[in-house]
Amino acid sequence: MSAAPNPVQPIPILIVPHPALKARARAVTPADAAQLRDLIPRMFAAMYAAPGIGLAAPQVGVGLRLAIVDLMPEEKPAPIVLINPEIVAASAELATREEGCLSLPGHYADVTRPARVSVRYSDPEGARRELSADGLLAACVQHEIDHLDGILFTDHLSPLKRNMILRRLAKEQRQKQAR
């Protein structure tokens, strides 16, 4: 058994319908550097503990354009920190994958998105980078960037499917609080 990827105290993940999840995040500036140094390790700790493969700052109540991703290829951490990410190219080809979200625990649905994307972002040291992604990574990066714009994966579903998931989640949360 391997050690946890990060011994830092995780930050709590917000659950729908928390209003922070529907708010558009603001761009990260150099003035946010100290906050990011504290926040990024805590976000990774929360994501790994959940467990999940992506987490955006709004999901932990922080309105900054920051997202983290780690698909754990071959069960080894491969963390990616995306600061002020923007999709600069998307394929015309679409792909449908089952998606879930740490802010909608236990709920999944098929979501159709561009099959490949290129994302421009800054890393924690301030270097500009570009990531070309396909498959699961493309879906994950698009999902996390959606969070930065106040969009949940359920917003990509039909109203009927979205309402079914949100009602079921609300019922589960009420039952959890009643215990």
Domains by residue range for the chain, with CATH? 19-178 (3.90.45.10)
pLDDT tens, residue by residue, 107-158: 999 999 999 999 999 999 999 999 999 999 999 999 999 999 999 999 999 9
Could you say which of 93, 98, 125, 144 is catalytic?
144
Indicate whether this model's pTM tops 0.85. yes
pLDDT tens, residue by residue, 10-37: 899 999 999 999 999 999 999 999 999 9
C-alpha to C-alpha distance for 40 and 38, rounded to whole angstroms: 6
For the question of residue 144 being annotated catalytic, the response is yes
